[in-house]
Amino acid sequence: MFKDKNNTLRTILTQVKPYKRRFIFTGVLIVTLASIVWVRPALIKHAVDVEIANGDYEGMLMVFAAIIGVLLFEAFLKYHVTYLANWVAQSVSLDLRSKLFKHIVSFRLKFFDKTPVGKLVTRLVSDIDGIANVFSNGLLNAIGDLLTLFVVLTAMLIIDPKLTLIIILPIPVLLVATRVFQKHIKKSFSDVRDQVSKMNEFVQEHVTGMHIVQAFSREGVEAKAFEKLNASHQNANISSIKAFSIFFPVVEMLSATSVALLLWLGIGGVVRGEVTLGMILQFILYVFMLYRPIRQLADRFNVLQMGIVNADRVFGLLEIDERISDEGHRNDLVFEGKIEFRDVWFAYNEENWVLKGVSFIVEPGETVAFVGATGAGKSTVINLLSRFYDYQKGKILIDGVDIREISLSHLRENVGVVQQEVFLMSDTLRANVTLHDDDVTDKMIWEAAERVGADEFIKKYDDELDLHVRERGAMLSVGQRQLIAFMRAYVASPSILILDEATSSIDSESEHLIQRATSSITEGRTSLIVAHRLSTIRDADRIFVIDSGALIESGTHEELLAEEGVYHSSFFL
């Protein structure tokens, strides 16, 4: 994690490297804009003291034309500064968000087991927006405000040093107030960000698990929990609002004090002939120009501080190395489908072993079923084969090659998985089958639908493959979602197929369709099936019985019955 603010800011600035020309050009425009702020007040002074005083109507028109010209030039500069600064900010946001998402999707599943989804959403959305604000409304603008202060003060000192020093007497008080405000608002904004992250986590988890909330009639309890969290979010925001509500009136009061001092001294000077009326108007404009950037600087520095806080979180996540080691160099392996586990040991946490010395061989084209009590280690076996988790001891080989020597992408392209809980994206049925693989044609999708028996229900919808299944496949039944998962695996055409409790959530009416799909999709390829239903496993070539992380029995359905062991006496019958 980046703890040094300077290091973090330097790291933020490295993100702008691909766009440095536009970034630098934006800086040049800001410097130009700040360098000409003295011009308009000077022209107004000249108009009052010369043209208006002498009744020079034509000269006055020329000065006003010059003022309009300066205003148009400033507007031109401000437009391009705003556009370019935000263009750079959004480009950095695009790159950083893509980089972070690509980094996150490479993580092993263990990371997601322990990390709330809402926290990752906050990092990908809100926190990166905070970093983008550094470029759109932070760094360059702060430099522009500081330069504006310098230019205005210099102009005032050149015109009348004594009057300037008296006018700026309230500014030290303003600087102290700004510093106090800055410290308070930093903490408030940090609290707001924390509360936003917590709310994202809460909402994401509870909306996703709404069926549990409603099934146990916990709507009222969870609503109260959300109200408490929402109140904390409100309090954090009110704290920041309170700081603004105090700070801005203080700024206005101090600026009014400077104007009052100017008028008190200036009117006397006008009477004595030491100061002109045009100079008074010029200095009044300079006072407002002086206080505006000071007030804005507080916002700019808050943006920078929050950008640094957000960057610490984002870059901290980028520093996390939770990826499964992908040092495999074999991309040319033609999978025949032989699988071998040699004395494999695995633990999710330290040495709390889930698998204990598991060894077996699955021949190419063979269908094997894994059975056992909940928590016995069945799903763990297949998760290791796809390298969703890495084992600690032993070896897993495919066609005699250690799976760690096979590149991760090549391995997963050849090992297809149909899981118990089918996850469908909020997209079309076609997209959920192809997963946006352009090589998969509609003809291939319909072939898959016919093979697994899904074509009938798809054709009942007017949109057919263009049917939008909505979030998590809400348009479809459990059995239909499972058939879509079979289609997804079929079009991927893997050499090895894994069915992880693929029939456990379906009703009896859908079971025959799933059985047909299972027979079709497992034909001609090595298949590993984790199941509880006897109808799913009895036709397997072999059945492995897992108990407490160990392989205790294996054989065909008839052989295991004849042994009268654990399989014979278990609930599988």
Tens digit of each residue's pLDDT (9 = 90 or more) over 58-84:
888 888 899 899 999 999 999 999 999
Which CATH number goes with the domain that contains 38?
1.20.1560.10
More confident call, 517 vs 561: 561
Angle between helix axes 508-522 and 442-452 (nearest 10 degrees) is: 120
414 and 449 in a common domain: yes
Share of the chain above pLDDT 70, in %: 90
- SS3 of residue 542 by DSSP: strand
**pLDDT at residue 72, rounded to an integer:** 94
**Alpha-carbon span 526 to 442, nearest angstrom:** 26
Q: Indicate whether 331 belongs to any domain.
A: no
pLDDT digits (tens, 9 = 90+) for 418-447: 877 777 777 888 888 887 777 888 888 888
d(CA 136, CA 141): 8
305 shares a domain with 198: yes
C-beta of residue 518 within 8 angstroms of C-beta of residue 503: yes
* 326 within domain boundaries: no
Residue 73: what pLDDT?
Answer: 93
- Determine the pLDDT at residue 3: 47
Query: Interhelix angle for 508-522 vs 478-492, to 10°?
Result: 0
Please give the model's pTM, rounded to 2 decimal places: 0.70
Q: For residues 209 and 298, give the distance between their C-alpha atoms in angstroms, rounded to a whole number.
A: 42
Q: Is 60 exceeded by the pLDDT of residue 279?
A: yes
Same-domain pairing of 99 and 233: yes
Pair 465, 526 in one domain: yes
Task: Burial-class residue 446 by CB neighbours within 10 Å (0-12, 13-18, 19+).
Answer: middle
Would you say residue 301 lies in a domain?
Answer: yes
Residue 508 has pLDDT above 60, yes or no: no
Residue type, 339: I
* Strand order from edge to edge, sheet including 393-398: 353-362, 339-347, 393-398, 401-402
Domain span at 189: 5-319
18 and 124: one domain?
A: yes
Same domain for 375 and 461: yes
* Total number of domains in the chain: 2
* pLDDT top residue among 538 and 257: 257
Its sign, for the CA torsion 498, 501, 506, 510, is positive
* Structural domain ending residue among the three candidates 252, 285, 319: 319
pLDDT of residue 79: 93
Residues 6+ apart with CB under 8 A from 136: 85, 86, 88, 89, 90
290 and 248 housed in the same domain: yes
Q: What confidence category does residue 214 fall into, taking pLDDT thresholds of 50, 70 and 90? A: low
Is 428 found in the same domain as 388?
yes
| Cα distances (Å, whole numbers) of residue 98 to 101, 308, 326, 381, 473 | 5, 19, 21, 33, 26
Mean pLDDT of 15-39: 90
C-alpha distances (whole Å) from 299 to each of 178, 186, 488, 521 are 10, 10, 51, 61
Question: Would you say residue 332 lies in a domain?
Answer: no
* pLDDT over 60 at 573, yes or no: no
Query: pLDDT category, 281, cuts 50, 70, 90?
Result: confident
Give me the pLDDT at residue 80, please: 92
Mean pLDDT, the chain, rounded, equals 81
Domain finish residue from 264, 286, 319? 319
pLDDT at site 1:
40
Q: What's 564's domain CATH number?
A: 3.40.50.300
Task: Examine residue 494 and state whether it is found in any structural domain, yes or no.
Answer: yes
When mean pLDDT is compared across 92-101, 133-142, 201-210, 239-248, the lowest value belongs to 201-210
Digit-coded pLDDT (tens) for 341-379: 989 888 887 778 888 888 888 888 888 888 877 777 888
Task: Decide: 380 and 298 in contact? Cβ < 8 Å.
Answer: no
The predicted structure's pLDDT at residue 513: 66
CA distances from 431 to 419, 434, 460 (A): 18, 5, 18
Q: Is residue 504 predicted with pLDDT exceeding 60?
A: no
